[in-house]
Amino acid sequence: MTLSELIDRLGGKLVQGDPEWMVDGVNLAERANPFDVVFADNSATILKALSSKAGVVVLVPGVAGSYPRGKCIVEFDNPRLWFSRAAKLLTPATPSTGVHPKAVVMSDAILGVGVVVEACAVVESGARIGAHTRVEAGAIVGHGVQIGERCRIYPRAVLYPGTTVGDRVIVHAGAVLGADGFGYVRDSATGAYTQFPQQGTLVVEDDVEIGANSTIDRGALAETRIRRGTKIDNLVHVGHNCDIGENVILVALTGISGSSSIGKGAILAGQVGIGDHVKVGPGVMLGGQAGVLSGKTVTNKGLRPGTVLWGTPARPLKQVLREQVMLMRLARLGWRKSSGAETAETETAAAEE
């Protein structure tokens, strides 16, 4: 692809260089060749990018007074974003191979144009798969499951019946979508547990990405919903009846209990724990290992933009750090008092003897 074609697709301003320069891919500055793109978004990386062998460098406007001769320079307000979008455009398309002879596709399943079903994958009765979607080796698409266009279902992913997936969704290896939620009713007389009905649905909207070995349960009687643009890391669990808002980030080992909602644009860092029936407001940022107790609501009301909440129960990070300092001071004070009292008691006993 030529540089001018990339700029037409992605925006930006070519301030130096040949618009017909051929671009093959993106790379690190240290590994780049003349047909690669590199980027720099701060003063620490600009010299490395400009001195690299890369033919194209993407920079923030006005970040450098002059540019080396022979380099193509593109200015864009968010170089990292331009670089990431360019990477998608320059990635070679995976060959379309149709349905593998060792795949199992039921006769009444409906496959769109260009669908790929790899070896040992199973597409069960009544399933519908949109155009140019890939179902890779060993994946299971359950009875009546609906998958949109240009999705990628990686090996060994399992989509249970009752699951609906939008367009351009990525489901990584080993993920399980639409399994029964963890809901039981206890008989107080015998102590035995009976499963509460788990017959709801799971809806995954467009442009969602679900990491390897993550699990998302169907609703109990209603639905679980993952809204447009949300990105879910590996080893994340979302319980039944949850509503995850648009463009939410859920980082590895986060667990969200049933009937909770996460607002648009929220970020939950690694190992965050959310109790059941919790409401996390739009834009809330929960730091690693933060916890929200069942039934609680967490919002940014009264906080400065970008405030990180931390600890259990989750509260502003600065508050937590102040509390920790106070606890340390109290502990030291208590130790000193205890030590002083013990010394005084020892001296008194010696005098009496």
Catalytic residues: 240
Cα 314 to Cα 242: distance, rounded to the nearest angstrom? 20
Structure tokens at 87: 């990477």
Cβ 327 vs Cβ 321: under 8 Å: no
Angle at 137 between CA 133 and CA 142, to 5 degrees: 65
Cα 204 to Cα 184: distance, rounded to the nearest angstrom? 25
CA distances, 306 to each of 5, 78, 169, 212, 284 (Å):
36, 19, 28, 29, 8
Reduced to 3 states (helix: H, G, I; strand: E, B; else coil), residue 332 is: helix
The crossing angle, in degrees rounded to 10, of helices 79-90 and 3-10 is 120
For strands 128-129 and 279-280, give the pairing.
Answer: unpaired
C-alpha dihedral sign at 316, 322, 325, 326: negative
Helix or strand holding residue 268 (H, E): strand 267-268
Structure tokens at 40: 């720099």
Cα 119 to Cα 134: distance, rounded to the nearest angstrom? 12
Terminal Cα-to-Cα distance of the chain (whole angstroms): 96
Closest by alpha carbon to 170, among 187, 154, 148, 190?
154
Cβ 162 vs Cβ 143: under 8 Å: no
Cβ 121 vs Cβ 104: under 8 Å: yes
Structure tokens at 72: 């193509």
For strands 279-280 and 249-250, give the pairing.
Answer: unpaired
